[in-house]
């Protein structure tokens, strides 16, 4: 299959490229394709004529988006609209990668795909607006929401390990709960969906749940590092963008269609640290 991968140099994009070796991949990043430029996207897609697009490109600086709403809107909303329109014109299917931040985090149970969204940040709102445009423009779409992603790039795991090199004690939030998700598991789910005609909205995270504090403890346990970790509240660690307190996602639709092959989050982090 000929697949266009946007954001190919990001964490997820790199893993998609690694797992997509059996496909004909066309790779772009912000240097090679301005997804917010409607004309540029249309011309590019007419030229390469992809059968599918895995749209990984996104404005993911959650706190930065609070001060740069126009920038986040340009990438996450206008960019998604342009890619979806290009897919409609060329007959391509589209994978749009979204986020747990579309939910407000007030639910005590895991969120399913059809639960009410209520984003609390600029990042969450722009990703939700991107979702809605993809749904309206293109029937052949897979909207894949994920959470707490880590892979080949800057992420929480690498940040914790780096900080541990120069700090004996770290303070980590304990009252935000979610599911750490490896790009390996997410990319596998994406390719499984692309092999099907089961279009729609999906959740794709690893299995289980934990707080950021528990995540940090597991990282250091797996890495064999002795670091004192002090649990703190969200109020003690203020950030510009509001985080959902409980954003565990249930991969319900994945299980009901192509099957859920994601692993327990502890197993995935063990593999990641051993690399």
Which residues carry out catalysis? 123
Question: Do residues 155 and 11 make contact, with C-beta atoms less than 8 angstroms apart?
Answer: yes
* Rounded Cα–Cα distance for residues 272 and 244 (Å): 25
Q: What is the 8-class DSSP label of residue 27?
A: E
What is the CB neighbour count within 10 angstroms for residue 211? Answer: 18
- CA-closest candidate to residue 85, choices 25, 45, 54: 45
Q: Where are the alpha helices (DSSP H) in the chain?
A: 11-19, 38-48, 64-67, 69-73, 79-90, 122-137, 156-164, 183-194, 212-223, 252-256, 265-274
98 phi, psi to nearest 5 deg: -120, -160
- CA-closest candidate to residue 30, choices 87, 74, 84: 74
Rounded to the nearest 10 degrees, how much is the dihedral formed by the CA atoms of 71, 72, 73, 77?
130
* Rounded Cα–Cα distance for residues 146 and 50 (Å): 24
What is the CB neighbour count within 10 angstroms for residue 228? Answer: 10
* Rounded Cα–Cα distance for residues 12 and 243 (Å): 21
Question: Do residues 28 and 72 make contact, with C-beta atoms less than 8 angstroms apart?
Answer: no
């Amino acid at each position: 299959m000929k697949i266009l991968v946007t954001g190919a140099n990001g964490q997820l994009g790199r893993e998609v490229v690694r797992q997509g070796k059996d496909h004909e991949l066309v790779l772009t990043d912000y240097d090679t394709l301005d997804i917010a430029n409607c004309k540029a996207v249309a011309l590019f897609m007419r030229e390469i004529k992809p059968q599918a697009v895995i749209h990984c490109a996104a404005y993911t600086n959650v706190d930065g988006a609070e001060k740069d709403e126009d920038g986040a809107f340009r990438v996450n909303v206008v960019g998604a609209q342009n890619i979806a329109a290009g897919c409609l014109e060329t007959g391509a299917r589209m994978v749009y990668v979204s986020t747990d931040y579309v939910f407000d985090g007030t639910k005590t149970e895991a969120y399913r795909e059809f639960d009410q969204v209520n984003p609390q940040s600029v990042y969450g709102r722009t990703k939700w607006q991107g979702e809605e445009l993809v749904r309206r423009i293109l029937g052949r779409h897979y909207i894949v929401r994920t959470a707490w992603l880590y892979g080949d790039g800057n992420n929480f795991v690498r940040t914790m390990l780096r900080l541990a090199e120069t700090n004996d004690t770290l303070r980590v939030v304990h009252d935000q709960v979610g599911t750490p998700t490896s790009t390996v598991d997410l990319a596998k789910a994406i390719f499984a969906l692309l092999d099907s005609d089961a279009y729609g909205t999906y959740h794709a995270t690893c299995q289980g749940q934990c707080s950021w504090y528990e995540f940090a403890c597991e990282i250091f346990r797996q890495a064999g590092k002795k670091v004192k970790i002090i649990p703190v509240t969200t109020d003690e660690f203020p950030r510009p963008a509001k985080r959902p307190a409980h954003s565990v996602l249930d991969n319900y639709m994945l299980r009901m269609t192509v099957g859920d092959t994601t692993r327990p989050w502890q197993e995935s982090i063990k593999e990641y640290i051993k690399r």
